Structure 1
Amino acid sequence: MPGWLDEKAIPENRIIQRGTFFPPIESAPFFRQYRPPAELPVETVIAHLEMAVIQVGRQLDRWRQEQTAATLAEVRAETVNGRSELLALWERAVYCEAKAEILKETLTADRRKAAENNAKTGEETEEKYREFSADAIALIVGDDRVHVGSI
């Protein structure tokens, strides 16, 4: 659907880098795909993206240390449309973690009417984005996110 999102409304792209192994995260695709609330200051969104890069990166540090490749892009993986699955999963994990944090913040700071659509801003939606992030991380490390334990 061309024109459904005004490209002029997308703030200038910012690059967030954590070390040299993981690729940089760009803010413009996050604004396009995950559409944070317009009333949130851009700096707040960038701060959430930075924290998400830290959180996801730390969850992947042990796995990263087991890799022989110098960068995530060099880790052997299947591709989708010519792009490494691992790169796509890294981005998804970070973006979903950031979206969950933004939802948590807007849930507590939001002063809109009670009739607001909770499917967009409710706690369940926040948790769903956290699950998406956890799923992406599990796929990167080659683990099943759901484990069956002894009863």
Structure 2
Amino acid sequence: MTGFVATAPTHEPDPITAGDWFPSIDPKDARAVMRIDGSVTKERLVECLAVAISSVEDELDAWQQQQQALGRASLKDVPSKVIAGESRLVLLYRRAVYATAQAELVERYRELDATEAGQRRADVLQSTADDHRRLARYAIRDLLGRPRATVELL
């Protein structure tokens, strides 16, 4: 066996946008950050990113409206620390989108192998999907300036 490794396609699609307020998501950057290899087609990656953008922006909708009412034309205009030359809020938004997309990709790949070994691996993948969803939730809560955990006394 020669050990072929799937590589990313040479041409990635254009950045994905959902209006002008939130930053666009570049599938090429997403593939690199999320460590997604060429076994995930660009069409599947774009679909997962688009659904993730929709999901994250739905959760941020009321907050976005508040910020726009304060005259902020985009997420970049909301006052925030700058980390590595970029707004902390933009970094958190991108992390929420990436983590949501990764969770969906992990869940979709679970369907591919229904053998006993595949089911054991699927259990591991499910915890990984849950981890990605937790990271997305943390990023959204951090962006909103809310605590990460909700605790109720019974």
TM-score relative to the length of structure 2? 0.84
Q: Unaligned stretches of 5+ in structure 2?
A: 1-5
* Whole-angstrom CA distance in 1 between matches of 2:88 and 2:25: 15
- Give the equivalent residue in structure 1 for 2:17: 17
Provide runs of 4+ in structure 1 moved above 3 Å.
Answer: 6-11, 110-113, 115-119
- Give the equivalent residue in structure 2 for 1:30: 30
Displacement of 1:141: 0.5
| Residue among 80, 85, 88 paired with 2:88 | 85
Deviations 1:17-57 (A, max 9, x none): 01111010110111112123532322011100000000000
Q: How does 1:48-63 map to 2 (within 5 A)?
A: 48-63=48-63
Q: Is the 8 A contact 1:36 1:102 kept in 2?
A: no
Deviations 1:57-112 (A, max 9, x none): 00000111111211000000001122100000000000000000000000112468
**How many residues in Structure 1 have an aligned counterpart in Structure 2?**
147
| Residue among 90, 94, 97 paired with 1:94 | 97
Q: Is the 8 A contact 2:103 2:129 kept in 1?
A: yes
| Residue among 119, 131, 148 paired with 1:145 | 148
Q: Is the 8 A contact 1:23 1:72 kept in 2?
A: yes
Q: Is the 8 A contact 1:63 1:141 kept in 2?
A: yes
| Residue among 89, 108, 113 paired with 2:111 | 108
**Structure of larger gyration radius:** 2
Q: Unaligned stretches of 5+ in structure 1?
A: 1-5
RMSD of aligned residue pairs (Cα, Å): 2.6
TM-score relative to the length of structure 1? 0.85
Which amino acid is 1:45 matched to?
Answer: L
* Whole-angstrom CA distance in 2 between matches of 1:145 and 1:97: 16
Inter-CA distance 35–8: structure 2 relative to 1 (3 Å threshold): closer
